Amino acid sequence: MRDFKNPFIYGGRVSGGAFCNREGEIRELLEDIRGRQHVILSSQRRFGKTSLVWKVLEETQTEGIIPVYADLYPISTLGEFIEEYARAIARTLSSYEKAKRLMRELFSRLHLSMGVDPAGNPQWSVGFDRSREAETFDEVVSSLENYLRRKGKYGVVVFDEFQQITETDGEKTERRLRSAIQTHEHVSYLFVGSKRHLLHDLFSNPNRPFYRSGKIFPLEKIASGHLQKFVKKRFNGAGVDIDEKTLGLIVETTECHPYYTQYLCHVLYDIMEKRRIRTDDVPRAIDLLLRRESTAYMNTWDLLTHRQRQVLVALSETGPGDSPFRPEMLRRFNISQPAVMIRAVKSLMDKDLVDRENGQYGIIDLFFKRWIRTSIAMSSQV
Ligand SMILES: Nc1ncnc2c1ncn2[C@@H]1O[C@H](COP(=O)(O)OP(=O)(O)OP(=O)(O)O)[C@@H](O)[C@H]1O
Ligand SMILES: [Mg+2]
């Protein structure tokens, strides 16, 4: 028999056959980029933002639009922003031009040198005079626009995890970046972020420099029909038979969340017998997944306050349309004022454990929610 690999990947960017649909989103983002519309793409963690923007960047490249991708996740200072952005520009432009001379032309204040990482991929290192950070920042931020204007070309810059900009020196960087960007005519900017409330505050608060500087694009889950087709194709491609009922049960369990769908299917593939998957396999896979995650969940749980735990229990037992602050919950936890719970909810949102969607609070990680309901709430450990 052929040697198949598990076809489901969870965590990190997915591409090729492991990437499901998103055709509407790709089309819309391409239109925005062609029209030089800046976009703010946001969603909960692991909805597929990074995978989607890479797919879009591949397409723009075929149209002659030059793509630059900067991951701001690791940055927390202005200096680190400068390094990451200069590296991102160098990575892209060195595939178009003789790199060394071009870098000298583009960046008079920076010293860039190319080496190779242990895997043999080119890697840029960046040095500059730390006492001239502000001027160096301005130079890096306008370098791509200047280059493209000279060449008569257009480009797109993705700032992934853009909310990290607030970690640098707060509004000073925001203001400087915003005032540079608004003069750019050859670059469209795609601001991507996962901490929804933070990102929205950056762009929707009239007192912030980036107020209304782009189109807000909330990325939704993947439509059930598309996701079921994708799951079926991935299983069938690995020689596994799956019926329609089970496909429906999978996406119902994962609420069409792409990451949890890939995760659950990965486990289903691990436990399947005779290369067939049936409805009975789904609860077995959920059990195994929860067992695998339980140490991580327990660690998270241990770090929470009593009140935060109570709120999570309330949310884990709250169905659509119900309030977690309903009288029976307040009575159960001996709370006289809902405000006490609301404060705890806010702190859980800061920890990225809870989010608010369509006016309703919910636990972000579906399986954490299930774990709380089955392992904690039932045993009344709160
Ligand atoms: N279009 C898709 N098709 C199939 N799986 C997807 C898709 N988008 C996301 N996923 C699943 O979600 C996981 C995370 O994807 P990705 O890193 O692109 O999301 P993200 O929103 O950028 O996450 P983060 O919030 O961690 O930055 C992938 O490893 C994959 O399992
Ligand atoms: Mg991402």
Q: What's the pLDDT tens digit per position in 61-102? A: 999 999 999 999 999 999 999 999 999 999 998 876 677 788
Tell me, what amino acid is at 90?
Answer: A
Summarize pLDDT for 184-238 with one digit per residue, the tens: 999 999 999 986 667 778 888 888 888 877 899 999 999 999 999 999 999 999 9
Of 185, 201, 218, the residue at which a domain comes to its end is: 218
Summarize pLDDT for 158-188 with one digit per residue, the tens: 999 999 998 887 788 888 999 899 999 999 9
Pocket test for ligand 1, best of 14, 23, 226, 352 (most atoms within 8 A of CB): 14
- Phi, psi for residue 128 in degrees, rounded to 5: -160, 165
Tell me, what amino acid is at 65?
Answer: I
Looking at residue 327, its pLDDT comes to 87
Query: Going by CA atoms, what residue is nearest to atom 7 of ligand 1?
Result: 48
Q: Are strands 66-71 and 155-160 parallel, antiparallel or unpaired?
A: parallel
Summarize pLDDT for 276-325 with one digit per residue, the tens: 999 999 999 999 999 999 999 999 999 999 999 999 999 999 888 888 88
Q: Are residues 79 and 188 in the same domain?
A: yes
Q: Which secondary structure element, helix H or strand E, spans residue 202, and what is its range?
A: helix 196-204
Separation between Cα atoms, residue 381 and residue 165, nearest integer Å: 40
Q: Is residue 45 part of a domain?
A: yes
Supply 300's token pair: 């998270």
Of 198, 218, 238, the residue at which a domain comes to its end is: 218
Ligand nearest to the CA of 194: 1
Name the percent of the chain in helix, strand, coil, to the closest 5.
55, 15, 30
Q: Are residues 332 and 366 in the same domain?
A: yes
Rounded mean pLDDT, 361-373? 95
Ligand nearest to the CA of 47: 1
Looking at residue 4, its pLDDT comes to 84
Q: Are residues 31 and 158 in the same domain?
A: yes
Is 48 touching ligand 1 by the criterion CB < 6 Å? yes
- Residues, the chain: 382
Query: Going by CA atoms, what residue is nearest to atom 8 of ligand 1?
Result: 48
Q: Is residue 350 part of a domain?
A: yes
For residue 152, how far is its CA from the centre of ligand 1 (angstroms)?
A: 35
Cα 100 → chain centroid: 33
Summarize pLDDT for 31-46 with one digit per residue, the tens: 999 999 999 999 888 9
36, 149 Cβ separation under 8 angstroms: no
Q: Are residues 287 and 343 in the same domain?
A: no
CA Rg value for the chain: 24
Q: Is residue 209 part of a domain?
A: yes
Summarize pLDDT for 309-318 with one digit per residue, the tens: 999 999 999 8
194, 45 Cβ separation under 8 angstroms: yes
258, 46 Cβ separation under 8 angstroms: yes
CATH number at residue 135: 3.40.50.300
> How many domains does the structure of the chain reveal?
3
User: Measuring CA to CA, which residue among 4, 19, 12, 24 is closest to residue 230?
Assistant: 19
The pLDDT mean for the chain works out to 91
Q: How many CB atoms lie within 10 A of CB 3?
A: 4
Ligand nearest to the CA of 264: 1
Is 47 touching ligand 1 by the criterion CB < 6 Å? yes
Q: Which domain covers residue 228, as residue numbers? A: 224-295
Q: Is residue 10 part of a domain?
A: no
Q: Is residue 265 part of a domain?
A: yes
CA angle 11, 15, 160 (to 5 degrees): 65
Pocket test for ligand 1, best of 47, 194, 257 (most atoms within 8 A of CB): 47
Is 20 touching ligand 1 by the criterion CB < 6 Å? yes
Of 160, 188, 218, the residue at which a domain comes to its end is: 218
**Most confident region among 120-124, 245-249, 336-340 by mean pLDDT:** 245-249
Is it the case that residue 381 has pLDDT exceeding 60? no
